[in-house]
Amino acid sequence: MARGTPLLLLHGFGASSAIWRPTMAALADRRCVAFDWPGFGARGGEPPCSDLAGFAAEALRQADAQGLARFDVLGHSMAGFIVQELLRAHPARVRRAVLYGAGLRIDPRRRFEPAERTIARLREDGVASCVRRVAAAWFARGEDDPHHALCAEDGARMSELAGIAAIEAMQRADFTGGLDGVTARVLVILGEHDHTHPPDAGLALRQAIPGASLCVLPGCGHAAHLEREDWFNAVVADFLDQP
């Protein structure tokens, strides 16, 4: 029988639930639930969510389908914003939350390219080319990381409409000053070399949430759960198991 509170795993842009397979294997002693957002992965043909409220509602639909009245949640990258929306708008549903590769908002000065450029290249070059290029920015070693090819292949199942809708929704996200009422225990995890949300952005996110903790994993980029699975899984398991 699985122990602890069930864990909902939320993937980010240009990915699918498949990105969580190593994490779910490492946390096999607890009940983990991962799913694809509409327009991503196996659901690539479905109409996408258009805003954070829609993503949060989809997460709750998935939790309800699994009979989860209350759950822990781990959100990566864009899903970090979705978790913040759950914490803000649906606090009774979340026991503990891990905000991974996340910040209060997207700082356009730090993004590897303007969001408008990503959307333009998504339309011009196609999903597969766009995701392959974006995924290279996730890893400290870029395309030389052994996980890059699999991430690019997986992300290519995202539809163009879903990719554009997700980028636009996340560009509008800004939780500055909106999290001071959060009561759930929260852990912020970042890679030392994460370009989108570097350590100082993670510190700002931690400071915005009462009682939150911050862990910066050395030598990692935006995909620390693949770059250093051992560190990442140990930190997450310890956080979820703390009394």
Asked if residue 210 has pLDDT above 90, the reply is yes
- With respect to residue 1, please indicate whether it lies within any of the assigned structural domains: no
Asked if residue 37 has pLDDT above 90, the reply is yes
Q: What is the pLDDT of residue 112?
A: 66
- With respect to residue 62, please indicate whether it lies within any of the assigned structural domains: yes
Q: What is the pLDDT of residue 1?
A: 63
Taking the C-alpha atoms of residue 159 and residue 48, their distance in angstroms, rounded to an integer, is 9
Look-up of token digits 């029988």: 1
Q: pLDDT for 141-159, tens place per residue?
A: 999 999 999 999 999 999 9
Q: pLDDT for 20-33, tens place per residue?
A: 999 999 999 999 99
Q: pLDDT for 56-82, tens place per residue?
A: 999 999 999 999 999 999 999 999 999
Pick from 209, 211, 234: nearest CA to 224: 234
What φ, ψ does residue 106 adopt, rounded to 5°?
-90, 125
Mean pLDDT of 201-221: 97
CB of 70 within 8 A of CB of 94?
A: yes
Containing structural domain, residue 48: 7-241
Taking the C-alpha atoms of residue 41 and residue 107, their distance in angstroms, rounded to an integer, is 27
Q: What residues are paired with 34 via a beta bridge?
A: 9
Q: pLDDT for 102-147, tens place per residue?
A: 999 998 777 767 888 899 999 999 999 999 999 999 999 999 999 9
What pTM did the predictor assign? 0.96
Domain count, the chain: 1
- With respect to residue 103, please indicate whether it lies within any of the assigned structural domains: yes
Per-residue confidence at 39, pLDDT binned at 50, 70, 90?
very high
Taking the C-alpha atoms of residue 9 and residue 5, their distance in angstroms, rounded to an integer, is 13
- With respect to residue 27, please indicate whether it lies within any of the assigned structural domains: yes
- Looking at residue 23, which CATH number applies to its domain? 3.40.50.1820
Asked if residue 199 has pLDDT above 80, the reply is yes
Q: What is the pLDDT of residue 114?
A: 81
Torsion of the alpha carbons at 18, 155, 239 and 141, rounded to the nearest 10: 120
Q: What residues are paired with 185 via a beta bridge?
A: 96
Mean pLDDT of 146-174: 96
CB of 14 within 8 A of CB of 134?
A: yes
Q: How far apart are the first and last CA of the chain?
A: 20
- With respect to residue 101, please indicate whether it lies within any of the assigned structural domains: yes
Mean pLDDT of 2-12: 93
Asked if residue 2 has pLDDT above 80, the reply is no
